[in-house]
């Protein structure tokens, strides 16, 4: 018997047995599952995966809502009152709560036809950054950036005068520091650490050449002249402050009277929570 005829005979015999029983052929038994393969191991101990700190639901990147708003996140750079990039700002990116992003987008839509864009300086701020500010404020010996940011104020007054707080509304994600820029936005040279500093209260032509409109002081200028309705601010600068305030007020934001650049969302989604996730892209993956 050849192999083929033997297979045919077996098949015929099987069909006959099945027909005699009056049942259909049972399914062939499944082969036993192979044992699970052991996990791949190496001789060295496994590398720990870095812990990614995700942004909570309700936070967004401003650029995902309105990419036309200019972002110059100062605390991610050395161009701020401490003179160093601030912990927690891993990337120069504006993160805010969703309703604040939508309010800024609505403001931008009003401003663009009038020839302006918003430019944000600070948005959500991790708690660790405020902790750094507090440590910096207590270190009265560090006066590196005094000439630009607090030329007329003793460093020991920064807390008492409300310019620095142990806990900031920025850490709740619903505060923003911002200004206006005329369109088309002029290019702006980078700040060079160690460059000679000019007072934030000096005339615009002498201050650091920010491409924003003249608000009569630079950003983060710890001086009475930074009060939104400071009596010494008149003419074009006063008009610019009022334009920023009028537009932002119309979309539901509220100004902090001691800083022309600071606005917050009165009905914020996290009124009692201070967050600490870092500002970086991984927080949104």
Binding site for Zn(2+): what residues are annotated?
170, 177, 262
259 catalytic, yes or no?
yes
Site string for Zn ion, 150-179 (x = CB under 5 A): ---------------------------x--
Q: Are 113 and 173 in contact (CB under 8 A)?
A: no
Q: Is-contact 191 79, C-beta < 8 A? A: yes
Give me the least distance between CB of 210 and Zn ion, in Å please. 16
Alpha-carbon dihedral sign for residues 181, 95, 84, 273: positive
Q: Does 220 bind Zn ion (CB under 5 A)?
A: no
Residue 132 sits at φ, ψ, to 5 deg, of -65, -40
Kindly give the pairing relationship between strand 175-182 and strand 116-122: antiparallel
Cβ–Cβ < 8 Å for 257, 227: yes
- Residue with smallest beta-carbon separation from Zn ion: 262
Query: What span, in angstroms and rounded, lies between the C-alpha atoms of 38 and 195?
Result: 60
Question: How many CA atoms lie less than 13 Å away from 196 in the CB half-sphere?
Answer: 3
Per-residue contact track with Zn ion, 260 to 279, x per CB under 5 A?
--x-----------------
Q: Which is nearer to Zn ion, 155 or 262 (CB)?
A: 262
Stretch of 45-53, 65-73, 79-87, 258-266 lying at the interface with Zn ion (CB under 5 A): 258-266
Q: How many residues at the interface with Zn ion, by CB under 5 A?
A: 2
Q: Nearest distance from residue 85's CB to Zn ion, in Å?
A: 18
Catalytic one among 53, 91, 259, 268?
259
Comparison of 65 and 96: residue with beta carbon closer to Zn ion: 96
**Bridge partners, residue 254, by sequence:** 264
Q: Residue 153 and residue 163: Cα distance in Å, rounded?
A: 11
Binding interface with Zn ion (CB under 5 A): 177, 262
Active centre residues (catalytic) = 259
């Amino acid at each position: 018997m050849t192999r083929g005829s033997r297979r045919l005979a077996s098949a015929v015999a099987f069909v006959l047995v099945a027909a005699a029983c009056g049942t259909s052929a049972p399914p062939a038994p499944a082969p036993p599952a192979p044992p699970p393969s052991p996990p791949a191991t190496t001789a060295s101990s496994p590398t720990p995966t870095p812990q990614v700190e995700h942004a909570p639901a309700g936070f967004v990147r401003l650029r995902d809502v309105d990419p036309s708003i200019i972002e110059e996140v100062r605390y991610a750079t050395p161009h701020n009152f401490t003179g160093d990039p601030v912990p927690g700002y891993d990337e120069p990116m504006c993160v805010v709560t969703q309703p604040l992003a939508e309010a800024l987008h609505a403001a931008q839509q009003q401003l663009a036809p009038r020839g302006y864009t918003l430019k944000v300086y600070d948005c959500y701020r991790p708690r660790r950054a405020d902790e750094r500010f507090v440590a910096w404020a207590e270190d009265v010996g560090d006066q590196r950036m005094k000439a630009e940011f607090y030329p007329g104020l003793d460093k020991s007054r920064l807390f008492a005068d409300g310019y620095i707080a142990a806990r900031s509304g920025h850490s709740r994600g619903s505060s923003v520091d911002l200004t206006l820029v005329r369109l088309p936005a002029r290019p702006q040279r980078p700040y060079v650490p160690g460059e000679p500093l000019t007072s934030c209260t000096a005339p615009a032509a002498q201050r650091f050449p920010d491409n924003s409109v003249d608000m009569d002081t630079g950003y983060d200028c710890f001086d009475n002249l930074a009060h939104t309705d400071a009596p010494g601010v008149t003419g074009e600068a006063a008009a610019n402050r009022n334009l920023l305030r009028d537009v932002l007020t119309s979309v539901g934001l509220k100004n902090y009277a001691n800083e022309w650049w600071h606005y917050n969302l009165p009905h914020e989604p996290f009124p009692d929570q201070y967050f600490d996730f870092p500002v970086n892209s991984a927080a949104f993956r």
